[in-house]
A = this chain, B = another copy of it.
Amino acid sequence: MKKITLLLLIFLTGTISTQAQQAIFGEVPIVSPEINDDQSVTFRIKAPLANEVRLMGDWMPPVGWAPGSAELTKDENGIWTYTTESLDSDLYTYSFSVDSVRTIDPSNPHVIRDVANLFNVFIIGDGKGDNYKVTDVPHGSVTRRWYESPGLDMQRRITIYTPPGYENSEEEYPVLYLLHGAGGDEEAWIALGRTSQILDNLIADGKAEPMIVVMTNGNVDQQAAPGEAPAGYVTPQFMLPSTMNGKFIETFPDVIRFVESEYRVVADKAHRAIAGLSMGGFHTMHISRFHPDTFDYVALFSAAIMPRDESASPVFADIKGTLETQMNNGYELYWIGIGKSDFLFEANTQYRAMLDEMGMEYEYMETEGGHTWTNWRVYLTEIAPLLFK
């Protein structure tokens, strides 16, 4: 039978088997990843001509600064296989190296971009991973739109989560501003951070208040994520110029003004929260003390606590004094989370010592692991239930 006839047959019957379709398009049906009953995971890739295939998974302990990896084994059909130990419930990312060429899994089109690299993704449920799944609960809406930042003289892209029911109520909602790290942009939290899934699930469980979550782009030289701006399909950079020079902190009121004029929100301190990871933790710390009567809820995730050149921007003047003002103005929550092996652990310890000395209260969470999205998803899941209560 000619292929064209077969394709017409597919259209006509609409029920032809997956195998037959794959036969038409010349594909071998390889299942990868396969999550086994014992929560081990089997990976497969067809590479008959390869001499070595390795798997890099974010559950493997890194080797120095290199990712951990494991070797796959080849069978007589040229299919390479590797099965993990049982894994804890979580969201995991991975990629392959085939004869030293980094590649995603050709059998798994589900990927997330982290800075300049794509990683395949899978979730193991029955535990923490369930927080990150799309489940059968009411869903919020996720909008990518543009706002004017007069302070930066720029149209800028922003990602906004509105909770289930927002469109059909008259209610006014609180707002969490959620900031990404170096190399990230307005796509980072929604994709890598699973914000909409975490919020949908926590709200459905009655654990978190319905809230709007605003995911900005913290790179002040950039209008939008790579590929989403007039700059075109540029290569994402780990660190752009000017991201930590104070300009984002100075002009953050542009974001708040936009949100509070465009959304049904309670526009007061008691209904504003700000949280950020790494560079976004740096932004969060400085924004919340530089605008010291704006947020009742502040959360630093693996924050890049580090000295700044005070001459670069007025925002870096009198850090201790403005923290004291923030403390004296009062707040409901100042939250610090960090992993024990994070390269910023020591800097955060010193920062906590300073807060202790000042008598500035905070809640503290110390987790295993380092500077990872695995931790940041946990931190978001931890703090969301503490907000606006």
By a beta-carbon cutoff of 8 Å, the part of chain A in contact with chain B is 3-4, 7-8, 10-12, 14-16, 18, 21, 24-26, 45-51, 64-66, 98-104, 106-111, 113, 116-118, 121-123, 133-136, 138-146, 155, 157, 167-168, 182, 224, 226-230, 232-233, 235-239, 241-245, 262, 279, 282, 304, 306-307, 343
Residues of B close to A142: CB separation below 8 A: 143-145
Cα distance A133–B226 when bound, in Å? Answer: 12
With A14-B241, A243-B14, A245-B14 in contact, is A111–B101 under 8 Å at CB?
no
Contact B103 A103 (CB under 8 A): yes
* Residues in chain B near residue A110, CB distance under 8 A: 226-227, 233
Assembly stoichiometry (copies): 2
Contacts of A343 in B (CB 8 A): 4, 7-8
A12 to B282, CA, bound (A): 11
Interchain residue pairs with CB less than 8 A apart (9):
A8-B343, A47-B101, A98-B103, A103-B103, A110-B227, A110-B233, A118-B118, A135-B230, A142-B143
Expressed in whole angstroms, the Cα–Cα distance for A11 and B121 within the complex equals 28
Complex alpha-carbon distance, A385 and B111, angstroms: 35
Given contacts A7-B343, A134-B224, A155-B139, contact A116 B109 (CB under 8 A): yes
Provide the bound-state CA to CA distance between A340 and B68, in Å.
51
Contact present for B239 and A25 (CB under 8 Å) = no
Tell me whether B233 and A108 are in contact (CB under 8 A). yes
A237 to chain B, nearest CB (A): 6
Query: Of B11, B26, B66, B155, which contacts A182 at CB under 8 A?
Result: B11
